[in-house]
Amino acid sequence: MAAVDSAVNLGILISGHGSNLQAIIDAIMRRDLAAQIKIVISNRADAFGLERARRHGIEAAVIEHRRFPSREDFDRELVDVLKSHEVDLVILAGFMRLLSPVMIQAFPNRIMNIHPALLPAFPGLHVQKAAIDRGARFSGCTVFFVAEGLDDGPIIIQAVVPVHPNDTEQELSERILAQEHRIYPRAIQLYQQGRLEVRDGRVYINGELDLSLDQATFNPPLR
């Protein structure tokens, strides 16, 4: 992975609400994250995230996937726009389009995505409901480098949340989203610090980490 120590240039792709985009903007404004958002791109004109970007004086563009005859043509346009804005790292933040090899090969190990489950469990859509329906005791969220395949690629950071017995989809989604907002800026910070290394499909994090995670968690309790 490129060792970048100066601020990293981000291109953020969204499709909707953009609360993860907001969390990244907030982390930059707090100076927890040395990054500049060069452009926000939505494939939908009605995405509220566009408004969030504009409020912060960030360039925001709409590139509607429907205007393109194929996934590859759409991705070629994305690559052109991202490269012309000198984007180093592409951040998918609720971007609900599968990327083709055109994008993935243009930014190898330089596209991050976030997913509201503990990958590789529950890829795809409606995953909070799927976790509840299966009676999962724990779920969470995952930031990963995008590889070809749905919600697939080397895992950078995860957060675990409990699934309560009477959770609604909405309640679990909110509990997970609160942690998404914490882990996404952290994943980007680790990249910016040049600490992420991808080898053999895995991410290794260089440097000291304060890990006190030797405790297992059970639900139901063992006694």
Catalytic residues: 115
Buried b (16+ CB within 10 A) or exposed e, 40-66: bbbbbeebebbebbeeeebebeebebe
Rounded CA separation 115/118 (Å): 8
Query: Where would I find the H helices in the chain?
Result: 19-29, 48-55, 71-84, 101-106, 127-133, 169-192
The number of residues in the chain equals: 223
**18 binds ligand GAR per the rule CB under 6 A:** yes
**20 or 109, CB closer to ligand GAR?**
20
For residue 111, list its beta bridge partners.
Answer: 90
Of 1, 4, 9, 19, the one binding ligand GAR by CB under 6 A: 19
The residues in 142-201 that bind ligand GAR, with binding defined as CB under 6 A, are 151, 177, 180
Q: Are strands 8-14 and 35-42 parallel, antiparallel or unpaired?
A: parallel
Return the range that interacts with ligand GAR (CB under 6 A); candidates 13-21, 132-140, 202-210, 212-220.
13-21
State the minimum distance, in angstroms, from the CB of residue 44 to ligand GAR: 11
Of 8, 10, 13, 20, the one binding ligand GAR by CB under 6 A: 20
**156 or 177, CB closer to ligand GAR?**
177
**94 binds ligand GAR per the rule CB under 6 A:** yes
Angle of helix 48-55 relative to helix 19-29, nearest 10 degrees, comes to 20
Return the range that interacts with ligand GAR (CB under 6 A); candidates 33-41, 108-116, 192-200, 203-211.
108-116
Size of the site for ligand GAR (CB under 6 A): 14
Rounded CA separation 105/79 (Å): 10
Instruction: Determine which helix (DSSP H) or strand (DSSP E) holds 156, and give its type and residue range.
Output: strand 155-162
Return the range that interacts with ligand GAR (CB under 6 A); candidates 113-121, 152-160, 188-196, 202-210.
113-121
**71 binds ligand GAR per the rule CB under 6 A:** no
State the minimum distance, in angstroms, from the CB of residue 107 to ligand GAR: 17
Cis peptide before 120 (omega within 30 of 0): yes
Binding site for ligand GAR (CB under 6 A): 14, 16-20, 93-94, 114-116, 151, 177, 180
